[in-house]
Amino acid sequence: MNSSKVVLGILGGVAAGALLGVLFAPEKGSKTRRKIVNKSSDFVDDVKDKFEDLYEDVTNKYENLLRDAKGLVSKSEMK
């Protein structure tokens, strides 16, 4: 299974659990809405961080693959 899908699934589960916990909390509606906004903002920040990490990882792997391919081509041209 793809690790990025697992991470996104876990983050989604955590967000859903946090949202349900806030919704069923015995507080005023305005406080609950503020908590939902704060939690969703935190969740969006976490997803952005994970996406940036994933993008950086994919970019690094692509650059390494490209460098290795160029090295192979130059070695084959030397022969």
Residue boundaries of the structural domains of the chain: 3-78
Residues 76, 64: Cα–Cα separation, whole Å: 18
Tokens matching residue 73: 């081509």
Q: pLDDT digit string (tens) for 17-59?
A: 877 877 777 777 788 778 778 888 888 888 888 889 889 999 9
pTM flag (> 0.75): no
The answer to whether 7 touches 50, Cβ cutoff 8 Å, is: yes
